[in-house]
Chains A and B, each alone.
Chain A
Amino acid sequence: DQQVKQNSPSLSVQEGRISILNCDYTNSMFDYFLWYKKYPAEGPTFLISISSIKDKNEDGRFTVFLNKSAKHLSLHIVPSQPGDSAVYFCAASAGSGSRLTFGEGTQLTVNP
Chain B
Amino acid sequence: ETGVTQTPRHLVMGMTNKKSLKCEQHLGHNAMYWYKQSAKKPLELMFVYSLEERVENNSVPSRFSPECPNSSHLFLHLHTLQPEDSALYLCASSQVTGYPGGYTFGSGTRLTVV
The size of the chain B interface, using a CB distance under 8 A, is 27
Interface contact A103-B42, CB-CB below 8 Å: yes
Q: What is the bound-complex CA distance between A93 and B101, given in angstroms?
A: 10
The size of the chain A interface, using a CB distance under 8 A, is 26
In the assembled complex, B105 has its CB within 8 A of some CB on chain A: yes
Q: Residue of B at shortest CB range from A45?
A: B105
Interface contact B98-A97, CB-CB below 8 Å: yes
Known: A96-B98, A97-B96, A99-B56. A46 touches B103 (CB 8 A): yes
Q: Residue of B at shortest CB range from A50?
A: B101
Q: Within 8 Å CB of B108, what residues of A?
A: 41-43
Min CB gap B87→A, angstroms: 14
Residues of A within 8 A of B (CB): 2, 4, 9, 32, 34, 36, 41-46, 49, 51, 89, 93, 96-105
